[in-house]
A and B are shown apart, each in its own frame.
Chain A
Amino acid sequence: MKLHRLLTPLSCILAMVACGTTPPLGTGTNTYTGDSTGQRQEFVGDRDLAAKFVLLDIKREVRDGRLRVQFDLKNTTSGDLPIEWAVKWTDASGFTIDTNPHWTPVIVTGGGLHSIQIVGPTPQAAGFQLQFRKPTPIR
């Protein structure tokens, strides 16, 4: 009986808290920035993801006045793993170019490579931000 007295208000509070808060949006994002000269920075928001996936062989060139970037995403684990990636573009001054970026889901086989090639959306695109995160789908 005493346990019931304790559980009832607790579950009522839980019910109110559950209605008042929103579920978490997802995990951290790992961002890799670069430009046509090859300068690169990494911002690791999810260490676990950074250990499981590494970026290899980032190639960049300016062809027909547009920046092209190609990179290989390597799964360092032995099992197949899903990941989401997105790209944002910036001009020479670092301002973001409006492209409505979206997350693209991919599955990389265990120990395998997934090659991605992207092209600057406008001739002004001089830098890029590659973003990676664990899948956080709306479901």
Chain B
Amino acid sequence: MNRLALLSLTLAASCSSIRYDDPGRVETLTIDYGSTDLQSLAGQMVESLIAAPQLNYLDNSGKGDDKRVIVYTGSVENRTSEHIDTEGITDKIQTALLKSGKFRFVADKAGQAQIEEEIRFQTGRVREDMLRQMGKQLGADVILYGTLRSIEKKKGSSLESGGTRKVDVYYQFVLKCVNIDTAEILWQEEEELRKTERTGIFGRT
């Protein structure tokens, strides 16, 4: 009898469930880089880029009446100790900026490779009057690129800390917008994040 009661209580604690959740919810499953960090870092950069008056318009030859800044999205260098897909950050920033209507974008590295492949494919297959060719792309005015760094500190459990292990991670994300013609840095922003984890004898506190 006793065993049955214990078994059913164990079952209650060990059963699993699946549900859809809010993608915008704060996630603290582990101290590692996560979705909330991606959303926070990208979101703050987008706010700053949209608010930057020096990036409202840029007059360059061949642009016609639409003087909005044409952006080439470069890469964000991952200098953290973690494996982070930094294209997730640049994609998120680019999506929000495109929706804002403030900037125009040209295809990034992956897009250019796809274009080259498609043009090669069209040659000899597509009607001559519909054949697309190289040499008509928009010229980007600026490049957006940056660096993500982290500093991680760990302190093992000791009598002094009451058996609690501490981990502290600091992220620094720097993004720059550089004029391709002049190499002048037109805009630069820095965002910081700090996360701490305390693990006691009975798990995270």
Residues of A within 8 A of B (CB): 1, 4-5, 7-8, 11-12, 14-15, 18-19, 22, 25, 64, 66, 68, 84, 86, 98-105, 117-123, 135-139
Contact A19 B36 (CB under 8 A): no
Binding site for A on B (CB under 8 A): 1-2, 4-5, 8-9, 11-13, 15, 17, 19, 21-29, 36, 39-40, 43, 46-47, 50-51, 53, 56, 96, 99-101, 204
Cβ contact within 8 Å between A64 and B17: no
Q: Which residues on the B side are within 8 Å of A102 (C-beta)?
A: 23-25, 36, 39-40, 43
Per a CB cutoff under 8 Å, which of B2, B15, B50 touches A19? Answer: B15
Are A15 and B23 in contact, with the CB atoms below 8 A?
A: no
Q: Which residue of B lies closest to A125 (CB)?
A: B100
Give me the 5 closest cross-chain CB pairs, A-B, nearest first. A102-B24, A15-B12, A19-B15, A102-B39, A137-B28
Closest residue of B by beta carbon distance from A7: B5
In the assembled complex, 25 residue pairs joining A and B whose CB atoms fall closer than 8 Å, in A order, are: A4-B5, A15-B8, A15-B15, A18-B12, A19-B15, A22-B19, A25-B21, A25-B22, A64-B53, A68-B51, A86-B24, A99-B96, A102-B23, A102-B36, A105-B26, A105-B36, A120-B50, A121-B46, A121-B50, A121-B99, A123-B101, A135-B26, A136-B25, A138-B27, A139-B29
B174 to chain A, nearest CB (A): 20
User: Whose C-beta in chain A lies nearest to the C-beta of B2?
Assistant: A4
Known: A100-B24, A136-B25, A138-B27. A118 touches B47 (CB 8 A): yes
Known A86-B24, A100-B23, A122-B99; 15 more pairs at CB < 8 Å:
A8-B4, A14-B8, A14-B9, A19-B17, A22-B19, A25-B22, A66-B51, A101-B24, A102-B25, A102-B43, A105-B26, A117-B47, A119-B51, A138-B21, A138-B25
